[in-house]
A and B are shown apart, each in its own frame.
Chain A
Amino acid sequence: MSTARQSTTRTIAAHGVLILYTLIALFPVFVIVVNSFKSRRAIFADPLALPTAETFDLIGYRTVLQQGDFLLYFQNSMIVTVGSLFFVLLFGAMAAFALSEYRFRGNSLMGLYLALGIMIPIRLGTVAILQMMVASGLVNTLTALILVYTAQGLPLAVFILSEFMRSVSDDLKNAGRIDGLSEYTIFFRLVLPLVRPAMATVAVFTMIPIWNDLWFPLILAPSEETKTITLGSQVFIGQFVTNWNAVLAALGLAIVPVLVLYLIFSRQLIRGITAGAVK
């Protein structure tokens, strides 16, 4: 009996701590979202209150949508994130397949070379990257950002995916070979569909830093036409620092897309992590 009671106490304590921390984690998000729907006066009068019929006001969102080129920024962020993600997943999976499937001279050396980038941040090469982009006329283009993010995401993608691809059954691939499938068909038709959970994990870990990055958009593509939403909201906050409705609405708008993507992927994410790679 005593053990049963003890474990109930423990469960309650565990829930208590977790609820407390969840509140700490979500509180700032709550503050942004709630206040972005309130009138200016209500924001200052009682920042923690929920919007009521009286205080509900969409003025902030209207300002943002009229004023800033937020749709353009949003579109730029989408293009950069989706483009980089596509290349990271495609090139990363191809390299991971080569490293995990075939034995050739220099295999582990190549693996080590590609894994180097996990430890060494690409930012340290910024000086030379900027010079290179200036020389090739890619400054202020989205292409420059996609190239940089692809290079940045590849090391981790190759590392995680090659761990996963080792677990794909050899019999399956050999059966494919006996049926006369080319190596390319085996990769695209047999192996890729089987490592989908790992691809989701890589996608989340690649996507978040790209979407949120401020450094490279600030340095490589700060022009009006190529601003990403992160840089755009940073500049917007600088200009509208006293217009709290607009700033809060801009922040609210910046949270939504990445939150939606995260909620879609989150189930795959934990499955991907627990299945092996990052141990």
Chain B
Amino acid sequence: MAQRKSFRWHIAVFLAPAVLVYTAIMIVPLIGTLNLSLFNLDEGNRIFVGLRNFATLFGDPRWSGAFWNALANNAWFFLVHMLVQNPVGVMLAALLSSPRLRMAAFYRTAIFIPTILSFVIVGFVWKLILSPIWGIAPGMLDAVGLKSLFAPWLGREGTALTTLALISVWQFVGIPMMLIYAALLSIPDEVIEAAEMDGVTGWSQFWKIKLPLILPSIGIISILTFVGNFNAFDLIYVSQGALAGPNFSTDILGTFLYRTFFGFQLQLGDPHMGATIATAMFGIILVGVCLYLFTIQTRLRRYQF
């Protein structure tokens, strides 16, 4: 080994295509967007304005109202997912993984189906079901004598966002279910048998033995949910349009970015403010991911079998 090995070309060949495409289409535009947010137009010329765009976004009443509204809505959207989607996903996975359950494969496949549907389909079909005119939902509530509970949920400012969040939960519950299911299956039989020997069965077995073992998976799912929710756009766009009605009550950061960048109705598109919003979203996601990695992830105990 006197000489260093000659340069191993094959490593470069293996890596090059992925790294090139990824860098050119993902990293460079991302940096470009961050950069663009530092400029603005002044009498037709592009000038460097430093962080002034951000000051406008957070402080100028023309922008900040919409921004904080979108951020608050987005936070609520995320909270609904955390409180409904993930617990339901864990529960379904726990039921599916119970030993000797028949038809488990059927349930698993069926419950995952909404996840593979496009937002266009999901948005439209729920609009149909909840529509007061066609009315499958009012009809069904009527059949069980609860017709008075029905309201045009998607059309009311107070309930539209929560309804959309629940529709999104309905669509994506398959993902936590699948990942938790996989984690539960990977718990070795010996651990379960030992628990049964000690008389720990049923629910207490789930809470005391299985749940601590799948906590890392729940952590990963939470962070995936966070990134997905703060990047959401499609469902709101297909069901409420770019204006995120009624009266912007379902506006989230994705729709706000779209409106700002491309313009709508009388407002012209503004690439610089669009880039500023994208950068703010980038910051929010980055802060969230780092908080998770440095505070929660490090405290999770991992078990090796």
Contact = CB atoms under 8 A, between A and B. Distances in A.
Nearest to A267: B105
B116 A151 contact: no
Contact of B95 (A17, A91, A124): A17
Q: SS class of chain A's interface: helix, strand, loop or mixed?
A: helix
Interface string A145-156: 001101110110
B121 interface: yes
B136 interface: yes
Contacts of B107: 18-19, 21-22
Contacts of B28: 128, 132
Interface stretch (A23-31, A54-62, A63-71, A166-174): A23-31
Interface string A100-125: 00101000001000101101111111
A223 interface: no
B22 A151 contact: yes
A1 interface: no
A44 B129 CA distance: 12
A279 B216 CA distance: 8
B259 to A, nearest CB: 13
Contact of A208 (B17, B116, B178, B233): B116
Q: Chain B binding site: helix, strand, loop or mixed by DSSP?
A: helix
Interface in A216-256: 219, 230, 233-234, 237, 247, 251, 254-255
Contacts of B27: 116
Interface string B224-239: 0001000101100110
A258 interface: yes
A278 B180 CA distance: 10
Contacts of A154: 18, 21-22
Interface in B193-248: 202, 216-217, 220, 223, 227, 231, 233-234, 237-238
B14 A124 contact: no
Interface string B4-18: 000010110111011
Contacts of A255: 117, 121
A25 B117 contact: no
A139 interface: no
B19 interface: yes
Given A18-B95, A91-B21, A127-B36, A104 B278 contact: no
Interface in B128-151: 128-129, 134, 136, 139
A254 to B, nearest CB: 6
A80 to B, nearest CB: 14
Contact of B274 (A127, A233, A258): A127
* Interface residue tally on B, bucketed by range: 35 or more
Nearest to B24: A151
Contacts of A158: 18
B36 A128 contact: yes
Contact of A119 (B15, B113, B128, B227): B227
Given A28-B126, A151-B21, A128 B30 contact: yes
A117 B22 contact: yes
B192 interface: no
Contact of A251 (B96, B114, B125, B181): B125
A124 B126 CA distance: 28
Nearest to A228: B118
A147 B22 CA distance: 9
B92 A273 contact: no
Nearest to B104: A18
B18 A26 contact: no
Interface in A121-141: 121-129, 131-132
A194 interface: no
Contacts of A230: 118-120
A150 B24 CA distance: 11
19 contacts: A17-B92, A28-B129, A95-B15, A95-B17, A102-B11, A121-B227, A128-B33, A151-B24, A182-B10, A212-B117, A212-B118, A215-B234, A251-B121, A251-B125, A259-B113, A259-B116, A262-B113, A262-B116, A279-B183
A-B interface, 8 closest residue pairs, ranked by CB to CB distance from nearest: A128-B32, A125-B29, A151-B25, A128-B29, A212-B118, A95-B18, A98-B14, A91-B18
Interface of A: 10-11, 14-15, 17-19, 21-22, 24-26, 28-29, 31-32, 44, 47-48, 87, 90-92, 94-95, 97-99, 102, 104, 110, 114, 116-117, 119-129, 131-132, 147-148, 150-152, 154-155, 158, 182-184, 187, 208, 211-215, 219, 230, 233-234, 237, 247, 251, 254-255, 258-259, 262-263, 266, 269-270, 273-274, 278-279
Interface of B: 8, 10-11, 13-15, 17-19, 21-22, 24-33, 36, 88, 91-92, 95-96, 98, 101, 103, 105-122, 124-126, 128-129, 134, 136, 139, 170, 173-174, 178-179, 181-183, 185-186, 202, 216-217, 220, 223, 227, 231, 233-234, 237-238, 254, 261-262, 271, 274-275, 278-279, 281-282, 285-286, 289
